[in-house]
Structure 1
Amino acid sequence: MILKFRKVSVVSIILALFLTFMGGCSNAVKPSDTNSTAKNDKNQSSNTDVNANSAPDKNAAVPQGSSSQEDTQKALLMNIKKLAQQGKVINSEFPVKTTVIDDIEKKLGKPDKTDWVPAAKGTYATYSKHKLAFGFNKGAQIFEVRSFDNSLNKIPLSMVKKVYGTPAYDVKNNDEEIIGYTAGQDYKILLVFPKTAKGSNDPLLAHYSVLYPKGTANLMADDPGRQW
């Protein structure tokens, strides 16, 4: 009985140790699975955060290109008016009233062409390369400078009226509309808009000029000259 008891005890001990070992192995796997699950949860949380951060905010302010364009147009118109009060246009150093055609030819050379324009009461010298034209009287005095600068072609009629207000002069014909504003005591601004396609009433500026009306007067002929 003693021998039999010992054998059974040894077998029991071995079985108990085996079961204990297997239980330990089983328990050893669970923390690893837990860490893996936690890691996956963390990754999912991280991905959620990234997606949340990358999602567009509906309340975020969106830059308005049209507003920026309007600001540029307004700035250009204000500069046009400021220079006009000095008798100048935006891309010319030569003011009306105090400049003669000889001054211009010394600096820019001979014009591409010169034309006598009875309706404008003077001769006009065109400098295509510089996008300028100068009107001068019989005394060679410059009384009008016209600018054909490319930047002008982006300004609509509605913007001019918005910045300058109601024009003092407004004439329409078959081909164009010309509006005018005073610029100080001596000078005036004339803005020319081409005729638009049917259905459109907001043409873009073609060119403009600064006029010195007194320079067109012919006192000998009792002619007061141009007003616009």
Structure 2
Amino acid sequence: MIKKMAALSAVSLLIGSLTLCTGFAFSDVDARQATINENIPNETSHANEITVTIDKINDDVNKVTLSRGQKLNAGYGMDINTIHFESNGQAVITYTLRNPQPDEAYAEVITEAKVVTYLSSKYKPVAEQAVAQVPAPAPSLADSISEMMNKQIKELFELVKKGKVPDVAFAVHTNRIDEVRQAWGPADTQKSLGNGLIYDSFNVKHTVIGYNKGSQIFEIQSSLPAIQKWNIQRIELMLGKPTDTKVGQDSSIYIYAANDQFQLKLVVMNATGYVDHLSVLSPKDAVDIMEQIN
């Protein structure tokens, strides 16, 4: 019995000693952690405060350091955008700040977020945060379509200068109707004006080709759906006022002289103001060649 009591007393003393030791150990950790926390800079206070430090390199040059202080990790930083040298002797340094990105991992080490530059000692550095650039709004679908049509009209006029219209490989004055038939096959319809001038219609191509008795092409008409989305206001905005205008009951013809050889003719419906069809014309070739030869 005495031996059992002695053993229990020994165990109690041992447990008490462990408790005391354990208590001291935890207290020591808490104390050291508190010391560390006191040394960590507060991220919320003076978060965007920038200090400018000037260190003389020599009589002519200074080292200028912009700092946003100590940060908890390497994800913080700053960059110099521009330096403007003012007539009042100031060098205005614009900067941007870099902050940690949510999906990036950074070393958890206290780091000073700073950037350094060198300036003439004649200037006093002044730091200014760069104004955030607001991105321009994306163009709307209507704006994109409008811009596309403007581009098409400009491209059309360049083609007309060569005797061509969009999506047709043949050119007025240069090609002959035989070449067209060889490539496209026979015309769907044919119409003669009675003065040696004939028009062949190719419906699938939205194209009508006029040629003289010598088979020389003098006009190519196009009624592509894209062309019929243009109105005369847009055309005049892109090409200016027409050289000549012929007003009819249902439609009007607007004529633009592209050069000495070719004209652009636009047939516009009076009721809507939109193009029905257009053509490139060579007036010099719109004659009965065979009659001239005879």
**TM-score (normalised: structure 1):** 0.64
Query: What residue is the counterpart of 1:95 in the other structure?
Result: 171
SS in 2 for 1:110: coil
Q: Which amino acid in structure 2 is aligned with residue 94 of structure 1?
A: F
Cα distance per residue 1:124-152 (max 9 Å; x no partner): 00000111110001111000000111101
- Select the residue among 264, 274, 285 that pairs with 1:215: 285
SS in 2 for 1:206: strand
Q: Which has the higher strand share?
A: 2
Query: What residue is the counterpart of 2:145 in the other structure?
Result: 69
SS in 2 for 1:193: strand
The verdict on how the C-alpha distance between 1:60 and 1:219 changes in structure 2, with shifts beyond 3 A counting, is: closer
Question: Is the counterpart of residue 188 in structure 1 residue 263 in structure 2?
Answer: yes
* 1:146-185 to 2 correspondences below 5 Å: 146-185=221-260
Q: Which amino acid in structure 2 is aligned with residue 183 of structure 1?
A: A
**TM-score (normalised: structure 2):** 0.50
- Select the residue among 144, 155, 162 that pairs with 1:86: 162
* 1:5-84 to 2 correspondences below 5 Å: 61=137, 63-84=139-160
Question: Is the counterpart of residue 123 in structure 1 residue 198 in structure 2?
Answer: yes
Name which structure has the greater RCO, CA cutoff 8 Å, separation 6+: 1
Distance across 2 between alignment mates of 1:194 and 1:70: 20
Kindly state the Cα deviation for residue 218 of structure 1 after the two structures are TM-superposed: 4.5
Q: Which amino acid in structure 2 is aligned with residue 206 of structure 1?
A: D
Q: Which amino acid in structure 2 is aligned with residue 179 of structure 1?
A: Y
Distance across 2 between alignment mates of 1:84 and 1:60: 36
Query: What residue is the counterpart of 1:15 in the other structure?
Result: none
Q: Which has the higher helix share?
A: 1
Q: Which amino acid in structure 2 is aligned with residue 214 of structure 1?
A: K
Tell me, yes or no, if the aligned pair for 1:91 and 1:147 is still in contact at 8 Å: no
Q: % of aligned pairs identical? A: 25
Kindly state the Cα deviation for residue 214 of structure 1 after the two structures are TM-superposed: 0.6
Kindly state the Cα deviation for residue 195 of structure 1 after the two structures are TM-superposed: 2.6
SS in 1 for 2:284: helix
Kindly state the Cα deviation for residue 194 of structure 1 after the two structures are TM-superposed: 1.4
Cα distance per residue 1:134-172 (max 9 Å; x no partner): 000111100000011110111111000111101001111
Question: Is the counterpart of residue 141 in structure 1 residue 211 in structure 2?
Answer: no
Tell me, yes or no, if the aligned pair for 1:144 and 1:210 is still in contact at 8 Å: yes
Tell me, yes or no, if the aligned pair for 2:172 and 2:220 is still in contact at 8 Å: yes
SS in 2 for 1:150: coil
SS in 1 for 2:267: strand
SS in 1 for 2:215: coil
Tell me, yes or no, if the aligned pair for 1:77 and 1:160 is still in contact at 8 Å: yes
Distance across 1 between alignment mates of 2:152 and 2:136: 30
Tell me, yes or no, if the aligned pair for 1:133 and 1:147 is still in contact at 8 Å: yes
- Specify every segment of 5 or more residues in structure 1 that has no aligned partner in the other structure, as ranges: 1-58, 197-201, 223-228
Structure 1 segments of 4 or more deviating over 2 A? 59-67, 217-222
The verdict on how the C-alpha distance between 1:60 and 1:209 changes in structure 2, with shifts beyond 3 A counting, is: closer
Distance across 2 between alignment mates of 1:191 and 1:173: 13
Kindly state the Cα deviation for residue 63 of structure 1 after the two structures are TM-superposed: 3.6
Kindly state the Cα deviation for residue 203 of structure 1 after the two structures are TM-superposed: 1.4
Q: Which amino acid in structure 2 is aligned with residue 88 of structure 1?
A: K
SS in 2 for 1:129: helix
SS in 2 for 1:83: helix
Cα distance per residue 1:51-103 (max 9 Å; x no partner): xxxxxxxx983643332222111111011111111111101000010111111
- Select the residue among 94, 102, 113 that pairs with 2:189: 113
Distance across 1 between alignment mates of 2:253 and 2:173: 22
